[in-house]
């Protein structure tokens, strides 16, 4: 049996494919497709589908097409087509030359519609939208048949042609499938096949005035492309009978099979394209690529790697039960990846000035610093050390709590890669009482951060030399929403659930000089703090970093518990 991805876990879809292969369906071919509608940006939920479809194809040595489902010109734009291609590519998948559009098939689809009319299985209905709704019945009551349901084929053909020619106004008539108005499945109550839309299409311009509905276009597009397994989300389960009906009635050669799986829900965020669009349009975020957004563009800008997202998609599995995945898993995948690849560097986010009184004025030493302890091949660099340095405000406490082993009056701490320093004196702002500077002494014997006299210096602080460091802006991010499941909060509008502290900009951070000229998109670990990446907002003189994700912080947890 042509086995799927060896390391990827199995799932019910693979079981189905295995079974199909065993029964020699589709001559042993496996051909999938990822079919986005270009009406917004791709998000992490789409990533699940992309990984699934492309992953299945490669696992079975098959193919996966990229197909834009562009059957509604009112909502779709070329900007989204370009963004989607960029994102799929970035995620690491290649559709080669199989880039298709449902709009490529408009002529063919129209012929199929004509065919259906000739078969007596479709008719032009002149009921208004409200009438159609009324005729449809309800969940419990069957619908009623349209008075136009039994129009002769010739008349339907003529009317449909005139719809196509643009003779009728929008909403005046539509082509419907003649199925069963009493079906318990509402999708089968004579669904619309073609409607009149006079808005120009982003690809075909004003060539068409009628557009096919999703159910009609999708199954036939799949068939035209030779798709064997058409994988979609759960809400289309009810549409499967219709998917099959069109293919059966039209007796197509290629019979794809639709399989539904549960879409991804991620805690502390939302996945609805409509809502994400609203956040963008109302300026609640800076754009589709705002680093707080669950969009692939946002995650990329935030500093997520494609590898970590693919790993995540593999770990969450594929099933049919509605689920809510904890964002902590995504963050775990990210840290695991970044830990291996990010260069370590020192940056002080909230600087506290430290003067080392016994260190010679004007002296500068170049300290050796490894770039990544996880990977010696990453090499080392020199970091300048001098009499005045900055340490993290948080690494000093005038009145240290229990188990705090950082700096405090009279205490000694190690400056990573440099020396032990001891706090001799605390200088405060006379008016506010705020600590503004520390006076310390260093131990010349501790160069490199170690002595062999058995001294136990447990605390290690990162630092930068005041005179050599560069100024930088650092953007700290937190969950976009305070609620773990914004969609489930029945009482509140999701916008009121936005986290007011999801962005915290620190304008006066100091970073080590080796960061000069760091390229947008590059990843670093700011020692002891987290993973950061260079934001495209950076310019020659001004570095801007995004905190991708913090490091695990066991001390922070201990402190939080106490409070």
Please tell me whether residue 96 binds RNA under the rule CB under 7 A: no
State the virtual CA torsion across 490, 491, 493, 495 in degrees, nearest 10. Answer: -100
Task: Give 168 or 288: the residue with its C-beta nearer to RNA.
Answer: 168
**187-226 residues near RNA, rule: CB under 7 A:** 187, 191-192, 195-197, 211, 213-214, 217-218
From candidates 28, 92, 226, 449, binder to RNA by CB under 7 A: 449
CB of 87 to RNA, least distance (A): 16
Whether 273 is catalytic is yes
Please tell me whether residue 492 binds RNA under the rule CB under 7 A: no
Task: Give 360 or 373: the residue with its C-beta nearer to RNA.
Answer: 373
C-alpha closest to that of 125 among 87, 168, 84, 96: 168
CB of 540 to RNA, least distance (A): 29
Q: Which residue has the tokens 């029964």?
A: 23
Please tell me whether residue 138 binds RNA under the rule CB under 7 A: yes
**12-41 residues near RNA, rule: CB under 7 A:** 12, 15, 35, 37
Is 383:369 a contact under the CB 8 Å cutoff? yes
From candidates 454, 554, 562, 563, binder to RNA by CB under 7 A: 554
Please tell me whether residue 497 binds RNA under the rule CB under 7 A: no
Give the list of residues 6+ apart from residue 415 with CB closer than 8 angstroms, or none.
385, 389, 391, 421, 449, 460, 461, 462, 463
Task: Give 102 or 518: the residue with its C-beta nearer to RNA.
Answer: 102
**298-317 residues near RNA, rule: CB under 7 A:** 315-317
- Is residue 391 exposed (0-12), middle (13-18) or buried (19+ Cβ within 10 Å)? buried
Residue 37 to residue 40: CA distance in whole angstroms: 8
3-state DSSP of 97-145: CCEEEHHHHHHHHHHHHHHHHHCCCEEEECCCHHHHHHHCCCCCCCCCC
Whether 263 is catalytic is yes
Residues in the chain: 563
Whether 251 is catalytic is no
From candidates 86, 332, 422, 439, binder to RNA by CB under 7 A: 332
Which listed residue (25, 29, 85, 263) is catalytic? 263
CB of 542 to RNA, least distance (A): 25
Locate all alpha helices (DSSP H) within 188-256, ordered by sequence.
214-225, 240-249
**240-299 residues near RNA, rule: CB under 7 A:** 262
CB of 537 to RNA, least distance (A): 25
CA angle 16, 22, 26 (to 5 degrees): 80
Please tell me whether residue 453 binds RNA under the rule CB under 7 A: no
From candidates 27, 282, 322, 361, binder to RNA by CB under 7 A: 322
Task: Give 203 or 414: the residue with its C-beta nearer to RNA.
Answer: 414
**462-491 residues near RNA, rule: CB under 7 A:** none
Size of the site for RNA (CB under 7 A): 92
Task: Give 151 or 344: the residue with its C-beta nearer to RNA.
Answer: 344
**348-377 residues near RNA, rule: CB under 7 A:** 372-374
Task: Give 129 or 153: the residue with its C-beta nearer to RNA.
Answer: 129
Give the list of residues 6+ apart from residue 116 with CB closer than 8 angstroms, or none.
122, 177, 193, 246, 249, 250
Torsion sign (Cα): 36, 40, 42, 45: negative
CB of 231 to RNA, least distance (A): 14
CB of 34 to RNA, least distance (A): 12
CB of 337 to RNA, least distance (A): 11
Please tell me whether residue 166 binds RNA under the rule CB under 7 A: no
**99-128 residues near RNA, rule: CB under 7 A:** 127-128
Backbone φ and ψ for 250, nearest 5 degrees, come out as -90, 0
Q: Which residue has the tokens 């799927």?
A: 4
CB of 121 to RNA, least distance (A): 18
Backbone φ and ψ for 351, nearest 5 degrees, come out as -70, 140
Which listed residue (151, 273, 335, 344) is catalytic? 273
From candidates 28, 92, 287, 459, binder to RNA by CB under 7 A: 459
Task: Give 373 or 454: the residue with its C-beta nearer to RNA.
Answer: 373
Is 277:246 a contact under the CB 8 Å cutoff? no
Please tell me whether residue 435 binds RNA under the rule CB under 7 A: no
Is 288:280 a contact under the CB 8 Å cutoff? yes
3-state DSSP of 377-411: HHCEEEEEECCEEEEEHHHECCCCCCCCCCECCCC
Active site residues: 37, 263, 273
């Amino acid at each position: 049996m042509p086995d799927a991805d060896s390391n990827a876990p199995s799932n019910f879809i693979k079981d189905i494919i295995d079974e199909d292969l065993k029964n020699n369906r589709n001559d042993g071919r496996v051909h999938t497709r990822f079919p986005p509608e270009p009406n917004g940006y791709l998000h992490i939920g789409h990533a699940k589908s992309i990984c699934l479809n492309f992953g299945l194809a490669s696992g079975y040595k098959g193919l996966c097409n990229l197909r834009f489902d562009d059957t509604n010109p009112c909502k779709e734009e070329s900007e989204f087509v370009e963004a989607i291609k960029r994102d799929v590519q970035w995620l690491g998948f290649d559709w080669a030359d199989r880039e298709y559009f449902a709009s490529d098939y408009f002529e063919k689809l129209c012929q199929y519609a004509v065919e259906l009319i000739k078969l007596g299985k479709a008719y032009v209905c002149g009921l208004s939208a409200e009438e159609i709704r009324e005729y449809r019945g309800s969940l419990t009551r069957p619908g009623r048949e349209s008075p136009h349901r039994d129009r002769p084929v010739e008349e339907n053909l003529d009317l449909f042609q005139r719809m196509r020619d643009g003779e009728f106004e929008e909403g005046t008539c539509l082509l419907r499938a003649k199925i069963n108005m009493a079906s318990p499945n509402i999708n089968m109550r004579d669904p619309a096949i073609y409607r009149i839309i006079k808005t120009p299409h982003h690809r075909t311009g004003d060539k068409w005035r009628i557009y096919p509905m999703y159910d009609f276009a999708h199954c036939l597009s799949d068939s035209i492309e030779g798709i064997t397994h058409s994988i979609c989300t759960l809400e289309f389960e009810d549409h499967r009978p219709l998917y099959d009906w069109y293919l059966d009635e039209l007796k197509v050669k290629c019979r794809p099979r639709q399989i539904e799986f549960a879409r991804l829900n991620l805690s502390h965020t939302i996945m609805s394209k409509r809502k994400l669009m609203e956040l963008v349009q109302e300026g609640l975020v800076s754009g589709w690529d705002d680093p707080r957004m669950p969009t692939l563009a946002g995650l990329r800008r935030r500093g997520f790697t494609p590898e970590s997202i693919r790993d995540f998609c593999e770990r969450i599995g594929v099933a049919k039960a509605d689920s809510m995945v904890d964002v902590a898993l995504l963050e775990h995948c990210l840290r695991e990846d970044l830990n291996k690849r990010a260069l370590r560097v020192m940056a002080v986010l909230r600087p506290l000035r430290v003067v080392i009184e016994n260190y010679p004025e004007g002296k500068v030493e170049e300290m050796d610093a490894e770039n990544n302890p996880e990977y010696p091949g990453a090499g080392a660099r020199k970091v300048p050390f001098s009499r005045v340095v900055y340490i993290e405000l948080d690494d000093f406490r005038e009145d240290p709590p229990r188990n705090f082993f950082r700096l405090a009056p009279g205490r000694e701490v190690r400056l990573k890669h440099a020396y032990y320093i001891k706090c001799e004196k605390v200088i405060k702002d006379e008016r506010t009482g705020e600590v503004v500077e520390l006076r310390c002494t260093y131990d010349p014997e501790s160069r490199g951060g170690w002595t062999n006299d058995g001294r136990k210096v447990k605390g290690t602080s990162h630092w930068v030399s005041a005179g050599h460091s560069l100024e930088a802006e650092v953007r700290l991010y937190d969950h976009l929403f305070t609620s773990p499941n914004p969609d489930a909060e029945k009482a509140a509008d999701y916008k009121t659930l936005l986290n007011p502290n999801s962005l915290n900009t620190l304008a006066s951070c100091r970073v080590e000089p080796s960061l000069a000229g760091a390229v947008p998109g590059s990843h670093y670990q700011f020692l002891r703090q987290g993973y950061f990446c260079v934001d495209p907002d950076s310019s020659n003189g001004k570095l801007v970093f995004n905190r991708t994700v913090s490091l695990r912080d066991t001390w922070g947890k201990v402190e939080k518990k106490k409070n």
